[in-house]
Structure formats: structure tokens, C-alpha cells
């Protein structure tokens, strides 16, 4: 089914005010026919509960079906997972891809890693279930509905279908669990939580501004994000000779592992045509080194790739950060932001949807926030 006709990828608008989130739907196959069985439909994250409703309506209206072949939950934060329960409740879902951190296989012996002596593996599992309630509810719903659940760990050695999980590896995922917000205090404060805490307290200070242009880049490789974000499933979609990268809220260590996997396989990055800007465009999740591999390391004012970011209407200056959109644009990947409206990316043989108009990308900023 992968070698015919085309694909469409929809980023739905998520979130009120400053709160961003992800709700993504895609379908591929003979999507121009009136036969919905000739396509494959996938949902990647469902935003908040109201975005889940919007996803259901969107798929029924534009994909002409109430069947979703696969739902992927990148990570358990509410702005990604809450809406997925609505999709499972209101549509026919054939498979669910999500992490289940509370399973015994991920938490055997985990109690040794915490400061407090009375912590048990079971109490950690319970805290994960309680702290990640929306994700746990999603899992329970899938079990009740007898929907097959698979955990998204690195597919080594290529594709078995159109979608491939590049990361996290199971080892890396399990190493992140002691730093999840809902677990007790870990014995060794990892560099992640220390630096993350310090960085957040600096936000209260006045925001400094820096000059940027095509040649001056202030984005660095030192950004830190939460353990939950780094646990995000990173997915590569391929259709004929084109590749598309979905990043969830993954941060620099997680993305580096995924990108290095491809580098090691001799992947041709020229075939990567579309990149989701990670974590709503936060400057803590991406750096020049990864972008140099994914896109290129020279200023390229010709558009060679497309980038989408799910960002709330009032998400700026954090979502997306100007130095991030500049970094993509500078390399030849202009960024389009949802900011309250839906965005559609499609293969070149698919006509623009009736009633939709072309979007404009974010221009180069000459001043960026610290
Ligand atoms: Zn998020």
C-alpha cells in the first residue's frame, strides 16, 4: 500500500493561550479514491481532550473514515496524551503504540535508585500510574477495548512498515524513569534535573536579547529538557523516496541517539523532506549539531526541506523560540507554526484541499531572546 498515490499530514491547532500541545493525523495510500480502505490512517498524539474531539471530526471529514490503523502516544505529558482517549472511545482503533513505564519489566529493582529506603518497586509503579494518570487511563481503555498495545522502542535494522521508531532504546528509556516527576527523589540527581531546575529559575530575570542574522547563530547544543520529554517516541515515516521525521518533545540527547542511528546506517539525509520542530519550538530541545546533520551546515536560502511546529497561539517567545525558527530557516528549512490554525503537508502529487490556502512560513528574526 506504500507505493501508490500519496500522503497528507495534518497538524491540528492545540491549546489555549500559552499552552502548546501536539495533535497530528496522517494518512497515505490511494487517498484520492473514495474508498477509505485504500489508505492507512495514523494519529500521533492527541493534545488535550478538546483536541481529541477535533481530531475525530477532522479524520471523519477529510479522511472519510472512522477507522484509525494506529495511534501513537509519544510521551505521557497531558498536552500530548489527553485527547487520545477520545480517539480510542469514538473511533475504531486497531493498535496503540505507547510506553508503559509501570510494567514490572521496566521497574524491577528501580527502588534501589531512590534516596528513601522505604521505596519499593511497587510503590514506584503506583506513583508512575498516579502521576501519569492520563497515560494510564489511555492504557486501561485500550486494554478494555482489547486494542493491541506495543511500546515504542528503537526498531533496529530498518522498517517493517511505513513507520519506524528511531528512539528511545529500551535502555535509554529505563534510565530516564527515575527522573520522571512522579517518582521519588533519585539518589543521583542526574544532570538533567539539576540543570533543568537551574535554568527554569533564571526565567524570572529580565529577558536579554541578541542580534542574529543569516550568519550569526546564538542557538547552542547545551539545552536541557525533562526526562518525560526525552522519553518521547521519535518516528520516521517513509513514502516512496521521501522521509518525514516526527520528534514529539524529545530533547538533545534523545534526538542525538536517533540521528546517530541513521548516520550509522548511511542514511541519505537529502531524502528527509519534512521535520517536526521538537517540543513546540523550545530552544532547550535542539542545537546546531543535530540540525547540521538533519538539514545541513551551510546558510542555504533555498528551501530544501519543510518544518512544522505545534505552538500555541500565544506561545511566543518560548514556543517557538526565534533562535530555533532562525536555525531551521538559515539551513533551508522554513518553519510553519500552527498558532491557532491547522497545517497540512502533502506529497507533491496531491492537490491542495478544497477551501484551504497555502500558509506562510516564519521569516528570519534579527533579534532573538536569550
Ligand atoms: Zn508538549
From ligand 1's centre to the CA of 243, what distance in Å?
A: 23
Give the tens place of pLDDT for each residue, 118-134.
889 999 999 999 999 99
CATH classification for the domain delimited by 6-350+360-369, as one of 3.30.450.20, 1.10.3720.10, 3.30.70.20, 3.60.15.10: 3.60.15.10
CB of 252 within 8 A of CB of 229?
A: no
Confidence of residue 186 (pLDDT cuts 50, 70, 90): confident
pLDDT for residue 209: 93
pLDDT for residue 207: 78
Whether 223 shows a pLDDT value over 90: the answer reads yes
Distance of CA 293 to the CA centre of its chain: 19
Give the tens place of pLDDT for each residue, 21-38.
999 999 999 999 989 999
Whether 339 shows a pLDDT value over 70: the answer reads yes
Q: Which residues surround ligand 1, an ion (CB under 5 A)?
A: 79, 249
From ligand 1's centre to the CA of 20, what distance in Å?
A: 6
Q: Which residue has the higher pLDDT, 230 or 109?
A: 230
Contacts of 334 (CB under 8 A, 6+ apart): 303, 306, 307, 328, 361, 362
- Count CB atoms within 10 A of the CB of residue 89: 12
pLDDT for residue 198: 41
pLDDT for residue 193: 47
From ligand 1's centre to the CA of 4, what distance in Å?
A: 33
Distances (CA, A) of 256 to 62, 94, 276, 303, 344: 35, 31, 15, 24, 27
From ligand 1's centre to the CA of 132, what distance in Å?
A: 14
Confidence of residue 258 (pLDDT cuts 50, 70, 90): very high
145 forms bridges with which residues in the sheet? none
From ligand 1's centre to the CA of 361, what distance in Å?
A: 21
- What pTM did the predictor assign? 0.94
CB of 70 within 8 A of CB of 161?
A: no
From ligand 1's centre to the CA of 366, what distance in Å?
A: 27
Whether 291 shows a pLDDT value over 60: the answer reads yes
From ligand 1's centre to the CA of 67, what distance in Å?
A: 25
From ligand 1's centre to the CA of 111, what distance in Å?
A: 28
pLDDT for residue 221: 97
Confidence of residue 157 (pLDDT cuts 50, 70, 90): confident
From ligand 1's centre to the CA of 229, what distance in Å?
A: 8
Domain residue limits, the chain: 6-350+360-369
- As a whole number of angstroms, the distance between CA 239 and CA 251 comes to 26
From ligand 1's centre to the CA of 45, what distance in Å?
A: 10
The mean of the pLDDT values for the chain is 92
Q: Angle at Cα 292 formed by Cα 344 and Cα 191, nearest 5°?
A: 95
From ligand 1's centre to the CA of 19, what distance in Å?
A: 9
From ligand 1's centre to the CA of 258, what distance in Å?
A: 19
From ligand 1's centre to the CA of 306, what distance in Å?
A: 20
Contacts of 25 (CB under 8 A, 6+ apart): 9, 10, 12, 41, 42, 43, 44, 55, 58, 59, 63
Cell, residue 56: 475525530
Q: What share of the chain is helix, strand, coil (3-state, %, to 5)?
A: 35, 20, 45
Q: Angle at Cα 292 formed by Cα 289 and Cα 298, nearest 5°?
A: 130
From ligand 1's centre to the CA of 33, what distance in Å?
A: 34
Dihedral (Cα; 297, 301, 303, 308), 10-degree rounding: 70
CB of 289 within 8 A of CB of 251?
A: no
From ligand 1's centre to the CA of 278, what distance in Å?
A: 9
From ligand 1's centre to the CA of 283, what distance in Å?
A: 13
Give the tens place of pLDDT for each residue, 46-96.
999 999 999 999 999 999 999 999 999 999 999 999 999 999 999 999 999
Average pLDDT in the 235-241 region?
Answer: 95
Distances (CA, A) of 218 to 56, 95, 237, 333: 40, 42, 31, 17
From ligand 1's centre to the CA of 357, what distance in Å?
A: 27
Distance of CA 341 to the CA centre of its chain: 18
At 37 the three-state DSSP class reads helix
pLDDT for residue 267: 97
Residue with cell 492520563: 134
pLDDT for residue 201: 45
Half-sphere exposure of 137 toward its Cβ, with a 13 Å CA cutoff? 17
97 forms bridges with which residues in the sheet? 72, 150
From ligand 1's centre to the CA of 282, what distance in Å?
A: 10
Amino acid at each position: 500500500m506504500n507505493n501508490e498515490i500519496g500522503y497528507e499530514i495534518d497538524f491540528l491547532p492545540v491549546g489555549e493561550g500559552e499552552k502548546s500541545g501536539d495533535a497530528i493525523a496522517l494518512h497515505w495510500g490511494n487517498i484520492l479514491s473514495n474508498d477509505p480502505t485504500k489508505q492507512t490512517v495514523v494519529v500521533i498524539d492527541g493534545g488535550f481532550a478538546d483536541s481529541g474531539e477535533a481530531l475525530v471530526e477532522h479524520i471523519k471529514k477529510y479522511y472519510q473514515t472512522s477507522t484509525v490503523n494506529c495511534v501513537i502516544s509519544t510521551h505521557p505529558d497531558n498536552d500530548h496524551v489527553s485527547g487520545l482517549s477520545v480517539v480510542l472511545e469514538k473511533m475504531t482503533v486497531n493498535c496503540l503504540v505507547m510506553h508503559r513505564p509501570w510494567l514490572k519489566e521496566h521497574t524491577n529493582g528501580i527502588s534501589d535508585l531512590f534516596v528513601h529506603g522505604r521505596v519499593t518497586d511497587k510503590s514506584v509503579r503506583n506513583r508512575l500510574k498516579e502521576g501519569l494518570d492520563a497515560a494510564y487511563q489511555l492504557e486501561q481503555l485500550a486494554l478494555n477495548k482489547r486494542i493491541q498495545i506495543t511500546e515504542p522502542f528503537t526498531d533496529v535494522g530498518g522498517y517493517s512498515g511505513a513507520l519506524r521508531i528511531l528512539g528511545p532504546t529500551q535502555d535509554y528509556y529505563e534510565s530516564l524513569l527515575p527522573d520522571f516527576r512522579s517518582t521519588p527523589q533519585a539518589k543521583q540527581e542526574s544532570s538533567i534535573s539539576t540543570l533543568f531546575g537551574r535554568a527554569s529559575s533564571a526565567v524570572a530575570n529580565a529577558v536579554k536579547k541578541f542580534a542574529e542574522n543569516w550568519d550569526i547563530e546564538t542557538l547552542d547544543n547545551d539545552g536541557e529538557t525533562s526526562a518525560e520529554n526525552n522519553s518521547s517516541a521519535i518516528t520516521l515515516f517513509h513514502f516512496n523516496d521521501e522521509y518525514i521525521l516526527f520528534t514529539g518533545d524529545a530533547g538533545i540527547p534523545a534526538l542525538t541517539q536517533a540521528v546517530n542511528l541513521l548516520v550509522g546506517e548511511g542514511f541519505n539525509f537529502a531524502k528527509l523532506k519534512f521535520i517536526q520542530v521538537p517540543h513546540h519550538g523550545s530552544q532547550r530541545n535542539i542545537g546546531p549539531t543535530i540540525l547540521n546533520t538533519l538539514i545541513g551546515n551551510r546558510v542555504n536560502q533555498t528551501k530544501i526541506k519543510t518544518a512544522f511546529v505545534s505552538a500555541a497561539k500565544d506561545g511566543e517567545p518560548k514556543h517557538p523560540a526565534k533562535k530555533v525558527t532562525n536555525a531551521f530557516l538559515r539551513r533551508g528549512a522554513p518553519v510553519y507554526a500552527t498558532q491557532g490554525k491547522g497545517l497540512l503537508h502533502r506529497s507533491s502529487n496531491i492537490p491542495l484541499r478544497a477551501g484551504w490556502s497555502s500558509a506562510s512560513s516564519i521569516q528570519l528574526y534579527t533579534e532573538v531572546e536569550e
